[in-house]
Amino acid sequence: MHEVTLEHLKREGRIVVVGASLAGLRAAETIRDKGFTGSLTMIGDEPYEPYDRPPLSKGVLLGKSTAERTALPRRRAIDAEWRLGTAATGLDMAARRVKLADGEEVPYDRLLIATGVRARPWPNAAEGELDGVFVLRTRDDGTALARRLDAGPRRVLVIGAGFTGSEIASACRERGLEVTVAERGDAPLVGALGGVIGAVAAELQRENGVDLRTGVMVTGLEGDSTGRVRAAHLSDGTTLECDVVVVSLGAQRNTEWLAGSGLGAGPRGIACDAGCRAFDIRGIVTDDIYVAGDVARSPHPLFGYQFLSLEHWGNAVSQAETAAHNMLSVSTDRRPHIWVPAFWSSQFGVNIKSVGVPSMGTEIMITQGSRAERRFTGVYGYQGRVIGAVTFDNSRWLQFYQQQIETTAPFPVPFPTVDRRPDGHRPVPADFPDPSVPTHGPTITLSGYSPADRRMTFTPAGH
Amino acid sequence: MTHGILSDILDYANRANPYPLYEELRKTPVFHDGSGPYVVSTYYEIQSLLHDPRLSSDSRNLAATAKDPLAGEAEEEAALPPSFLKLDPPEHDRLRRMTNRPFGPPHSPHRVDGMRGDLRAIVTGLIDDLGDPGQIDLVDQFAYPFPVTMICRLLGVPREDEPRFHVWADTLAASLDPDPDADPAERQRKTHDSRMELGMYLAGLIEERRKNPGDDMLSQLAAGHGQDESMSTMELLSTAALLLIAGHETTVNLITNGMLTLLRNPDVLERLRREPTIAAPLVEELLRFEPPVQLLPQRTPLVDIEVRGVTIPKGSSMWLILASGNRDPQRFENPDRFDPDRRDVQHLGLGSGIHSCFGAPLARLEAQLALTELARRLHNPRLLEDPPPYRQNAVLRGPRHLRIACDEVRA
Amino acid sequence: MLRLVVDLNRCQGYAQCAFLAPDVFAMHGDEGLLYDPQAEEAQRERLAQAAAACPVQAILVDDLDRDLAGVAEARDA
């Protein structure tokens, strides 16, 4: 891009951000920080200004806050035109226009797509419509679920023991509600952290009074004559009476609106390069469309240039900043998005944090603390190097292990630590489920190969 | 044992301004002169090491050859077991967690917040009693009695016993200091005796609190506040001694360094007077600019580690110069400028990682309140000598006296 | 009303915020942090103290009642 064009863009260009949540907001702020004085349009399908989602499954369900109080603070004024409550329905790449649900079209010079993900609904639509069946992703979901929990249901069924499902179960127990968790895998969190850590998560749930049922699927939900859910049928033949069901089966990427646009978007997200520029369906990188947040898939040099899709708060912020920076920079000033995956979860009074990509790990060793005490650090190894780490109430050590990942330090971890226990000297299989079996609620999805690899395939939406 | 720049840093003649020496030291981020400790002086290296699980705080992991008598009280264990300051997990974590129960969240979330009224009343009383505005010793009349009164109240130690434990606390604080001029044997004996006497004093007090418990921390710790874990009597004594000394010997420096810095930066002092809400960021900048604990002389690697290309052998003594990291231009722009508007002040002034300062929230409130009230009430304050006379201690560095004058003490 | 968010990736559970503004922040277990993302006006000073004291500078607060540009300037890191 010529300097002249860039200066013109910065001064009086048109930037459109589709997706008015965390990534969209932080990108908009960065865009203004970079001196962009042109028009900025924020398009969001929800009627609310950007809000923070993590509290919805924690503080909001615990009564520490409410879903209405989750609006995100601003780093600066962004002077944007807000189109809230209006979903984007299409993209014309040639004409550089975004189509909206109300029929209007918004032209752009640069487009940032940050449409994120939505909760995967219960597959049987009629059952999903029953009163008392919830998902938890949006502010409205949070309000509705919190209100129903306030009413004191007799039993809550949580379907899926990923992070969100486990947090919901934790909140229910803390409120004194009876809760059953049904998980098709062998343990909670098993898809993200493997069976060794999943076993600890299972103990935590059971110690806290959760009726945890693993290795089962919910085969059907049953309503009463008034349309209220009253029971669930499980694959082991049992029937469970419950008056609230929370479907927590992971997320789906919001890319359907891009079907037929020619952009490389599909159920696994929108592929982009390390600089957050979207690929078109031919595998050619665009120069005016950028992607950030949960909807993006981007190659990461630390993880063999595999395409990572991260449903992580910190990734959304970091990728948004990088996309915004690159959008307004000449090519030599652009930066790669090389954020090291990191997330947290708070459940049953334990703070769980992770860095790297544990799910790539084949082995794990507990380098500090003890699983029995629920305070430990687990390190994941892959092909002789450290690839990920998880802590339970041990987060002050985590940055050290992040450095180990960044420097591809050797695994098994060869050195002693201040809190190494006898069982922490040998690696054991990390025990991840067969990746070909779909799990719900993965927080890191690995897919595809480097942009140079011809095996990258495009899966159109809806197929 | 120490040569060149390290002995310069420890040299009392340089106490008033060690920062040029730190700047010199940072040219060699991991300094080692062949026989002394490995000295780390740059921000990012110190920050990393404070989160490095290969580093121990337990002196029992020091190699015999590294047990430099200058490095402190090797024999104190004879009197009391090491406090959590000098332990590694899991013992450190257990003791610190239990000590925290009667002090902070999650079990006692309102304890420190609830002390705000007391803090204000003590500050007000001490300023009311300053006397002749032409001759104020800010250390003796304010910066020392304020935190001591508060720590006594918090722990449940009678304020009138202060003259007794003051001597022990001073000796024990001095034992942290690698003073090259002190006679090691003599110092060890004094340290041992002080620890013994302080231990016996606290044992008596705890016995008394067991019989007549109050709402103070000693009573609650003695009552076995944490039921799921336990603290032995000896551990309780070590912990109580740690809290009493730390609550005694550090905040006085923070407040005094703070007032000294403000008097040297009158525009900032005036701004604090007009705009008391800047007190919180101002104290953070102060913790960067003049940290009350200058260095941590008590770390050792459990295995050979490499830092900036230097291999530090297992069992070596390591010093982390927090005050130098805080002035590292690689991390802080214009590091030698005191700037309360500075953003992103992730200083090392209260440490970092699992051993970060236990009393930090109290120290912060005390310093904020003290400096705000001094700025508000002292009219036209000025230093009577600059630099002031310093205490001997190079680790817990601060003025011994801060003689100031003002036109009047306002109501 | 004051809006706030804590970057819990940065948070290491030092609990300074929960000590200094206990009606906004609470520790959940030894290390987890819970907070109300909207604080009352009466919490302004405590919230400012908590944000300043955070050892990892993870707390972002804005102010619904003041000029946002001013907040932005003050928050640029």
Mind telling me how many Å the CA of B96 is from chain C's nearest CA? 11
Where does a domain end: A286, A306, A333?
A333
Where does a domain end: A333, A360, A380?
A333
Please count the CA atoms within 13 angstroms of the CA of B166 that sit on its side-chain side.
13
Task: Report the pLDDT value the prediction gives residue B187, as an integer from 0 to 100.
Answer: 84
- What is the full DSSP assignment across chain C? -EEEEE-TTT-----HHHHH-TTTEEEETTTEEEE-SEE-GGGHHHHHHHHHH-TT--EEEEETTS-HHHHHHHH--
Strands A285-291, A110-113: parallel, antiparallel or unpaired by DSSP?
Answer: parallel
Do A186 and A265 reside in the same domain of the chain? no
**Is the minimum CB–CB distance between B308 and chain A shorter than 8 Å?**
no
Do A280 and A307 reside in the same domain of the chain? yes
Query: Element (H or E) spanning A377, and its range?
Result: strand A375-382
A178 burial type by CB count under 10 A (0-12 exposed, 13-18 middle, 19+ buried): middle
Do A39 and A185 reside in the same domain of the chain? no
Nearest to C18 among B109, B343, B345 (CB): B109
| Residue A463, domain member (yes or no) | no
Do A323 and A258 reside in the same domain of the chain? yes
Instruction: Return the CATH number at A406.
Output: 3.30.390.30
Do A94 and A141 reside in the same domain of the chain? no
Instruction: Return the CATH number at A48.
Output: 3.50.50.60
**Is the minimum CB–CB distance between B337 and chain A shorter than 8 Å?**
no
Mind telling me how many Å the CA of B193 is from chain A's nearest CA? 31
Do A134 and A43 reside in the same domain of the chain? no
Residue B359 pLDDT grade (very low, low, confident, very high; cuts 50, 70, 90): very high
Residue type for A327, please? M
| Residue A192, domain member (yes or no) | yes
Q: How many CB atoms lie within 10 A of CB B186?
A: 9
| Residue A73, domain member (yes or no) | yes
Domains of chain B, earliest start first? 4-409 (1.10.630.10)
Nearest to C36 among A54, A65, A344 (CB): A65
Task: Report the pLDDT value the prediction gives residue B357, as an integer from 0 to 100.
Answer: 97
In order along its 463 residues, chain A shows pLDDT tens digits of 455 689 999 999 999 999 999 999 999 999 999 999 999 999 999 999 999 999 999 999 999 999 999 999 999 999 999 999 999 999 999 999 999 999 999 999 999 999 999 999 999 999 999 999 999 999 999 999 999 999 999 999 999 999 999 999 999 999 999 999 999 999 999 999 999 999 999 999 999 999 999 999 999 999 999 999 999 999 999 999 999 999 999 999 999 999 999 999 999 999 999 999 999 999 999 999 999 999 999 998 888 888 989 999 999 999 999 999 999 999 999 999 999 999 999 999 999 999 999 999 999 999 999 999 999 999 999 999 999 999 999 999 999 999 999 999 999 999 999 999 988 889 999 999 876 555 555 566 666 543 333 333 334 343 3
**Is the minimum CB–CB distance between B281 and chain C shorter than 8 Å?**
yes
Judge whether B239 and B95 are in contact, CB under 8 Å: yes
| Residue A452, domain member (yes or no) | no
Which range of residues forms the domain containing residue A109? 3-118+252-333
- Tell me the chain C residues in contact with residue B352 when contact means C-beta distances shorter than 8 Å: 55
Our count of domains for chain A comes to 3
Interface contacts (A, C; CB < 8 Å) = 102
- Tell me the chain C residues in contact with residue B97 when contact means C-beta distances shorter than 8 Å: 30
Mind telling me how many Å the CA of C62 is from chain A's nearest CA? 5
Report the alpha-carbon distance of residue B139 to residue B163 in Å, rounded.
Answer: 16
Do A27 and A173 reside in the same domain of the chain? no
Do A37 and A75 reside in the same domain of the chain? yes
Chosen for mutation from C2, C4, C8, C14 (greatest number of chain A CBs closer than 10 Å) is C8
Strands B296-301, B403-405: parallel, antiparallel or unpaired by DSSP?
Answer: unpaired
Judge whether B354 and B55 are in contact, CB under 8 Å: no
Do A211 and A283 reside in the same domain of the chain? no
**Is the minimum CB–CB distance between B90 and chain A shorter than 8 Å?**
yes
Paired tokens of B204: 């008596």
| Residue A460, domain member (yes or no) | no
Residues 98-117 of B with CB under 8 A from C: 104-106, 109-110, 112-113
Residue C76, pLDDT above cutoff 80: no
Query: Element (H or E) spanning A7, and its range?
Result: helix A3-12
Residue of A206, A29, A247, A10 whose CA lies nearest to A124: A247
**Is the minimum CB–CB distance between B326 and chain C shorter than 8 Å?**
no
Q: Is the dihedral of CA B345, B347, B353, B358 positive or negative?
A: negative
Domains of chain C, earliest start first? 2-75 (3.30.70.20)
